[in-house]
Structure 1
Amino acid sequence: MPPIKKIVLWLLVIFLLYAILTSPTEAANIFGAAWNVITNGVSNIGKFFDSLLKG
């Protein structure tokens, strides 16, 4: 892994830990919202292909 990618990864990990430790409720809300977006996206992709195959 190039050094730039390692640095960015470590900065991301440090930021996430900082966010969780300083305001865990807000971090949980953000994670929950992101999880909802991901699950809704996967569900909608499934519905799309299902209707494509039926149609």
Structure 2
Amino acid sequence: MQSQTQRGLAKMVKKVLTWGGIAFLIFFVAYRPQSAAEVVKSIGGALMDIAGGFGDFFASLFGS
């Protein structure tokens, strides 16, 4: 069982990392907008490939 102090520390670390990540994203978009756009395009492409793979899997599974 975690002590109260450990839970409080874990919450504080999570909060610091969350705000640090948000600050990094703002900085990245503000100072490197072209690079940020490429990252978003890459992530979007990967998600589309994953969705297509799931679609192909279920189409094969159900015999379309």
* Identity among equivalent pairs (%): 24
Q: Which runs of 4+ in 1 moved over 3 A?
A: none
Q: CA RMSD in A?
A: 1.7
Structure 2: state its 5+ residue gaps. Answer: 1-9
Size of the alignment, in residue pairs? 55
Secondary structure in structure 2 of the residue aligned to 1:54 = coil
Tell me: higher relative CO, structure 1 or 2? Use CA pairs within 8 A at least 6 residues apart.
Answer: 1
> What is the TM-score with the length of structure 1 in the denominator?
0.84
Structure 1: state its 5+ residue gaps. Answer: none
